[in-house]
Amino acid sequence: MKRMYQIYKTCMKANIASAITYRVNFILNSLIMLIGNVLFPLVTVFIYNSNASFEGWTFKEALLIQSVFILSTACAGIFFNGIMWNTMSHVVEGTLEVVLIKPTSSLFLLLARSFEFESIGLLGGGVVMFVYALSGIDGMTIGSWFLFLLLFGAGLLVMFGVALIVAAISFKWVANSRLPEMFESIKSFGRYPGTIFPKAVVAVSSFLFPVSMIAYFPASTLIGRWEAYFFIAIIPCALFAAFGIWLYTYMLRSYKSAGG
Amino acid sequence: MDIITVKNLTKQYEAYHRGQDAKSVFKSLFHREKSIITSVEDLSFSVGKGEIIGILGPNGAGKSTTIKMLTGVLYPTSGEINVLGYNPHKQKNQYVKQIGVLFGQKSQLIWDIPPLDSFYMNKEIYDIPTNDFRTRLDRFVSMFEIGDIITKPTRTLSLGERMKCEFIMAMLHSPPVVFLDEPTIGLDVIAKQRIREFIKQMNQEGTTFILTTHDLEDVERLVQRVLIIHQGKKVYDDKFSELRLHLGAKKMVRLSAATTIGDIDLPGTLISERISDYEVELEIDTDQCKMGEFLHILSEKVEILDISIKEIQIEKIISSIYEMDIG
């Protein structure tokens, strides 16, 4: 465990050093990522300023959901989304051998090398928005904070699973860079309060493709507006992650048996 | 004592292909023609401790595929591999700690940061004790004389400088066996010389090297044994010193004459290149025609201005082996 921590720490430092090497590129990427992701909360501002609303949700409650979405996206970007591009790049260029010859789990090493510091700007923006949203809301307790963290973690598991599934598919369907865009479209359902959707969409986004766990469930739980099925939805999140790990490992074996 | 044993190794994989016309391209959207490619077929060989063996073969012969199976990067379709008592693909994590690998066309260095950072990353991945790491790193940096470049971003280094750093990456954890896949590709004469000296030095200290190369000077200067693969099959496996003798005792003769050189009708003699009417290059099989006898008969046929006699070039021997498929 200590060795894995040391490997991760060294890879993280190398990735940060790589990112900072191109300073202007790093600053621009961080800003663009931040600006791109705060546009939709701006739409929420405009909606509420024009006396419309998400029924049953105050402006700050709606903003809270969207800030948690940004925080989730930022964490995913920092810690594991990069494995999709890393894997695709290695498969297309035929350079996965340099990872496969190392005496550690290839999946772990690729994850460690996928640490992306550029999402730090988005994380900062998300924290600011989160704090601002919370400033106008009551109902938080120590218990709700604990449950929030539990569900936030479950939301990260969904995104982790999807990142691995997309990366795994790239072994077979080489250079298929449009798959992450498809997921982003589905993920966008998680930005809004689930109560505005029809029951069928709620069911799908809770249990089949649990994107509601990315923001809506954790944010609602934090302010005491949780339902029992939020916690049942942790199971499909864990299954997503487990399937992603299994599929990636299986495809890695297929790569080795297919001649690269 | 053999530390590498390969028995009946075979690798097959599926390949898709289509025609060039528009109809074929459109058809490939729905259905692709598939064929089974056998890149390595029934390959068997062994390597002793401390050897340097060269794996040669034309492009697509199966050299790199063999190296990839030996390093555990690819699974064999059938056959057995044993390296230092390990099965490369069943005991991967323990096995790869014992080997170093250098892919001439694929870099282990991180492009944007100095090689030194990549070395430290390898230190953690291979769990190299700090004192051992510093001692080895200092030694290798000194041997290659690259102390002033390992703190510069990798992308700013020349190919030769990068290749020296790649060697350090492969050797830092002190592996007893090192696989080199075309290690001198694209390097200039000086860089190649440095790398060959490094390999010889490490070999003298006990490291076993298996290298694939198209550079026959690497073969002549480094390897003790040659394994030639052609169309996935082993066609030659013996000492390098035996390679020249394998096709008979041939010599190359370059002849300049004052008169036109016609056909030379002597047993064991072949005009390999007619440079002009007055200058030719000949291949003489001295088993069939002794050199003295050849020169005597030649001097009666033509007025010799200049003559040079050399060993047959290694390229010709290996080309002949590719063509003749001698087992």
In tens, the pLDDT along A199-230 reads: 888 888 888 888 999 999 999 999 988 888 89
Distance from CA of B51 to the nearest CA of A (A): 22
B116 touches chain A (CB under 8 A): no
Chain A residue with minimal CA distance to B125?
A7
**pLDDT of A102:** 94
B224 CB burial (10 A radius; 0-12, 13-18, 19+): middle
What's the rounded Cα separation, in Å, for the pair A77 and A116?
A: 6
B83: left (phi over 0), alpha (psi -120 to 50) or beta: beta
What is the CATH T-level fold of the domain B2-10+44-244, as seen in this structure? Rossmann fold (3.40.50)
**pLDDT of B326:** 47
**A7/B75 Cβ within 8 A:** no
**A18/B112 Cβ within 8 A:** yes
In contact, B128 and B173? CB cutoff 8 Å? yes
Distance from CA of B106 to the nearest CA of A (A): 6
Q: Which of A10, A18, A258 sits opposite B120 (nearest CB)?
A: A10
Residue span of the structural domain in which A31 resides: 2-257
**pLDDT of A259:** 53
- pLDDT, block means (10 residues), chain B with 327 residues: 93 78 75 83 94 89 91 92 92 92 89 93 95 95 92 93 93 95 86 90 94 85 90 88 70 89 84 90 85 86 88 72 61
A172 touches chain B (CB under 8 A): no
Alpha-carbon radius of gyration of chain B? 24
DSSP notation for B229-247: EETTEEEEEEEHHHHHHHT
Which residues of chain B are within 8 Å of residue A259 when distances are taken between CB atoms?
A: 11, 13, 37, 39, 65, 74
**A259/B74 Cβ within 8 A:** yes
What's the rounded Cα separation, in Å, for the pair A70 and A76?
A: 10
Give the residues of chain A that fall short of pLDDT 70.
Answer: 174-177, 256-260
Question: Which structure tokens are listed for B240?
Answer: 């390098």
Distance from CA of B228 to the nearest CA of A (A): 21
Q: Which of A17, A97, A258 sits opposite B113 (nearest CB)?
A: A17
**B101/A260 Cβ within 8 A:** no
**A104/B113 Cβ within 8 A:** no
Crossing angle of helices B130-144 and B189-204, in 10° steps, is: 140
**B73/A10 Cβ within 8 A:** no
B-interface mutation test, from A97, A251, A255, most B Cβ less than 10 A away: A97
CA-wise closest residue to A199 among A207, A215, A158, A191: A207
Chain B residue with minimal CA distance to A21?
B112
Distances (CA, A) of B124 to A95, A109, A143, B74, B130: 21, 11, 39, 25, 9
**A21/B113 Cβ within 8 A:** yes
What's the rounded Cα separation, in Å, for the pair A113 and A165?
A: 18
Distance from CA of B282 to the nearest CA of A (A): 43
Q: Which of B89, B93, B120 sits opposite A103 (nearest CB)?
A: B93
Domain count across chain A: 1
Please state the φ and ψ torsions of residue B200, each to the nearest 5 degrees.
-65, -40
**A260/B73 Cβ within 8 A:** yes
DSSP notation for B29-76: TT--EEEEEEEEEEEEEEEETT-EEEEE-STTSSHHHHHHHHTTSS--
**pLDDT of A47:** 83
Q: Which of A10, A98, A256 sits opposite B106 (nearest CB)?
A: A98
**A103/B125 Cβ within 8 A:** yes
What's the rounded Cα separation, in Å, for the pair B10 and A253?
A: 17
CA-wise closest residue to A175 among A89, A80, A96, A82: A89
A104 touches chain B (CB under 8 A): yes
Domain spans in chain B, listed from the N-terminal domain onward? 2-10+44-244, 249-311
**B94/A104 Cβ within 8 A:** no
- What is the pTM assigned to this prediction? 0.83
A109 touches chain B (CB under 8 A): yes
**B93/A18 Cβ within 8 A:** no
What's the rounded Cα separation, in Å, for the pair B124 and A3?
A: 7
B126 touches chain A (CB under 8 A): yes
Chain A, residues 14-53, CB within 8 A of chain B, namely 14, 17-18, 21-22
**B68/A98 Cβ within 8 A:** no
In contact, A208 and A240? CB cutoff 8 Å? no
**pLDDT of B324:** 65
